[in-house]
Structure 1
Amino acid sequence: MSIIGEAILSVSVELLLKKLTSAELLQFARQEQIQGDLMKWERILLKIHAVLEDAEEKQTTKKSVKIWLGELQNLAFDVEDILDEFETEALRKKLLLEPEAEIEGRTSILSPGSSEFNSMVRSKMEEISVRLQDIVSEKNNLDLNENSMGRSGKVRETLPTTSLVNEAKVYGRDRDKEAIMQLLLRNENVSDGVDVIPIVGMGGVGKTTLAQLVYNDVRVKEHFDLRAWVCVSDDFDVVRVTKTILSSISDVTVEDSDLNLLQVKLKEKLFRKKFLFVLDDVWSENYDNWVVLCRPFEASYPGSRIILTTRNQGVSSMVATLPTYLLKELSNDDCLCVFTQHALGMQDFSKHGNLKKIGEQIVKRCNGLPLVARTLGGLLRGKYDPNDWEDILYSKLWDLPEEGGGILPALRLSYHYLPPHLKRCFAYCSLFPKDYAFRKEEVILLWMAVGFLQHEITGKRMEDLGHKWFQDLQSKSFF
């Protein structure tokens, strides 16, 4: 299965569980006396869902797990089909109960009786029940572990970021750096409190690198009394972030875990001091946590700043006091320098002319993302055989070995935090050809046609809901 296939499977199981607990389906199940069967299906799917993350990781090394996931995908489609039939039959019965005048002209369409429906569906249900039981039995023989740590327990597969950077290996960010520097070094404040500068961009575009360049600039060190770097990541833990800031500006390890004591100490340290804090890789849109975190900052000297990096414009809108800085992709020339620096240890192909043409083609596939250029360059480090380079050139990016670099962890993390309905909509977009120019209205109509929007309607037209979901994906840097 491809990564997109895995994504659709994860979301399919989640949506099946949601369908099985819907009020409409439960009412229909009670009427048809199939509630016990559906409850059994739910219990089995919950057990499968608990090990699905481990299975998707192990399928790359265990063929038996890969086969099991394929069988599960086919079964999930069949379960979804029969649940859709239940919903259709429930609607049919509801219409038949309406006054005859309202359904005049439709009786011929709705004439099949309940007995015919039951006889047809019962055999399907028995078959699915057997297949579900077989899937569970096979699962027990695959040594799959349950994800007891919850959604965020295993998501971070990359190392946390630090403030250190090798400026000699950074290309094409001078103009971006100076734009941020101008915002940092201005003395006046836009807001009553500490001004926040969000740097927003898709995964792998270089937000952290830009923040590192600014953080280590000599002008910043002279301008601010205190500096601190915090890799916030997926877990916006106010206590942990506060403790990290306090440890950074105190040069001692802080052992306290009481938020009140931590914030009181931090407020004392910040009193009449001008600071720069970098909060890197922020995901949470929890406004209350943000307000609590910022309380000690009010004691600081005017001109204090926070740089916040995020892939989500929703986070930026929540915290920004200064204009959001949208970080764009590198130019092809700068991306080529990043690639050659990591592949060959130099900025060009002067000593390896036989690799130049292949290298330039590889860099075009990087689409201006320095993370991709760095990772592909790292995979080719010390390899000077053109055949090795062609293997990378003609390999799909998704097929590259995950242990070879940070591409997949970086991009999977973005996908991981989408809610199930957006995961499914985004995974569907993999059906479009490479370099396809997405047209919002077309995509929304296709989502409607395959039924992605109809189960989520809450007083909104499907077109309006699709428009909102497209905007949500766009704001999170997926389009």
Structure 2
Amino acid sequence: MVDVRKEAQKLKTTLHAIQAVLIGAERRQVEEEAVKLWLGKLKATSYDTDDLIDEWNTFILKFRVSNKVCFCIPSPSFCFTKIVLHRDFGIKIKDLNKRLQVIAVEKDMFSFNLNTSKEKPPYHLVVGMGGIGKTTLAQLAYNEQEVKAFFEKRIWVCVSDPVDEVRVAKAILEALTGVARLPLWLNSRHCTKWESLKHSLKCRTTGSKVLITARKENVANIMGSTSMFPLGQLYEEQCWSLFSRVAFFGRTTDDCKGLGDIGRKIANKCKGLPLAVKVLGGHLQFKKSKEHWQCAGQ
């Protein structure tokens, strides 16, 4: 039986080692066909890794669902299937590791320059509770014309729940090898995972910036953030201003009669969260009767 955990760790370690030379490889592929072919093999293996992760996540989901319904006697057929799939997954990840090992050996033959700069890219942290507008602010910064003009490449990575460190590292790797062109925005609820994610950010050049959005301020200490921007809740008047712009958009003065006081009460119940204000405002935008508005405010 293949040790899946051991093979997965080996896969992650090899990916990190290859990431250390990606910048140099990307520059050389323009003039060297062999380097271009090497990067192509790396991308193909990266795609297969993604497929394998999806397959494993699907299996885990089915396993959890089965555990909930099989509360009495577990099905022997499912137990056998679980063993077979676990073995098959182990074989596949072992095969991926063999392919990556070959790629790693070829990497050494090219004598790529390591990115040994000791300068740490400044980590900027936007912190606040869910729905406060962290993602919106990050998107505004990402789409700013001056940002687009200054940075040669931008990467956007969303760290989902649960955290999949291999997938995150692979997403960054793909962006740097030209598979994707995304901003480097990182978002996660699991602060304990940030330390390991820092290794995926070592592939950088001088002047790189990393913008992180998180719900907890201790991410700043873990990542060594050079600046932190805490987002607070909207004031009462700000809530009402945003709500009225959304809910009353395109309406005539007559349409809005009698809805102002109800709307203020609804806006106040959003507790200063922009996302809640916009969702409720959008929901009521096409509701004309007071009854609908009063129902939403309850």
Question: TM tier, shorter chain?
Answer: 0.5 to 0.7
Asked if 1:340 is matched to 2:244, the reply is yes
**Counterpart among 213, 217, 224 of residue 309 in structure 1:** 213
Distance 1:332 1:346 in 2: 23
**Counterpart among 189, 203, 216 of residue 296 in structure 1:** 203
Structure 1 residue 351 displacement after superposition: 4.7
**Number of the residue aligned with 2:190:** 283
Q: Is the 8 A contact 2:156 2:186 kept in 1?
A: yes
Distance 1:276 1:206 in 2: 17
Distance 1:350 1:245 in 2: 53
**Counterpart among 228, 231, 235 of residue 155 in structure 2:** 228
Normalising by structure 1, we get a TM-score of 0.35
Distance 1:233 1:347 in 2: 39
Taking a change above 3 Å as real, the CA distance of residues 320 and 341 of structure 1, as seen in their structure-2 partners, is farther
* Stretches of 4+ aligned residues off by more than 6 angstroms: 347-350
**Number of the residue aligned with 2:226:** 322
**Counterpart among 122, 130, 138 of residue 203 in structure 1:** 130
Letter in 1 for 2:203: P
Structure 1 residue 242 displacement after superposition: 2.8
Letter in 2 for 1:236: V
Distance 1:376 1:384 in 2: 14
Q: Is the 8 A contact 1:343 1:378 kept in 2?
A: yes
Letter in 2 for 1:353: K
Letter in 2 for 1:197: H
Q: Is the 8 A contact 2:126 2:229 kept in 1?
A: yes
Asked if 1:240 is matched to 2:167, the reply is yes
Distance 1:349 1:236 in 2: 49
Residues 434-453 of structure 1 mapped to structure 2, 5 A cutoff? none
Structure 1 residue 382 displacement after superposition: 1.2
**Number of the residue aligned with 1:160:** none
Q: Secondary structure at the residue paired with 2:296?
A: helix
Greater RCO (CA < 8 Å, at least 6 residues apart): 2
Taking a change above 3 Å as real, the CA distance of residues 366 and 221 of structure 1, as seen in their structure-2 partners, is same
**Deviation per residue, 1:393-412 (Å, 9 max, x gap):** 12xxxxxxxxxxxxxxxxxx
Distance 2:68 2:251 in 1: 41
Q: Is the 8 A contact 2:169 2:197 kept in 1?
A: no
Distance 1:347 1:336 in 2: 16
Bigger-Rg structure (1/2): 1
Letter in 1 for 2:282: G
Distance 2:235 2:265 in 1: 14
Taking a change above 3 Å as real, the CA distance of residues 248 and 349 of structure 1, as seen in their structure-2 partners, is farther
**Deviation per residue, 1:88-134 (Å, 9 max, x gap):** xxxxxxxxxxxxxxxxxxxxxxxxxxxxxxxxxxxxxxxxxxxxxxx
Asked if 1:356 is matched to 2:260, the reply is yes
Letter in 1 for 2:151: F
Q: Secondary structure at the residue paired with 2:155?
A: strand
Q: Which runs of 5+ in 2 are unaligned?
A: 1-63, 73-117
Q: Is the 8 A contact 1:283 1:312 kept in 2?
A: no
Question: Equivalent pairs: percent with the same residue?
Answer: 32
Asked if 1:369 is matched to 2:273, the reply is yes
Taking a change above 3 Å as real, the CA distance of residues 334 and 246 of structure 1, as seen in their structure-2 partners, is farther
Aligned residue pair count: 189
- Superposition RMSD on alpha carbons, in Å? 3.3
**Deviation per residue, 1:155-195 (Å, 9 max, x gap):** xxxxxxxxxxxxxxxxxxxxxxxxxxxxxxxxxxxx93111
Taking a change above 3 Å as real, the CA distance of residues 348 and 211 of structure 1, as seen in their structure-2 partners, is farther
Letter in 1 for 2:193: N
Q: Which runs of 5+ in 1 are unaligned?
A: 1-49, 56-135, 141-190, 255-274, 395-479
Distance 2:188 2:163 in 1: 10
Distance 2:123 2:211 in 1: 6
Taking a change above 3 Å as real, the CA distance of residues 351 and 333 of structure 1, as seen in their structure-2 partners, is farther
Distance 2:270 2:253 in 1: 18
Asked if 1:387 is matched to 2:294, the reply is no
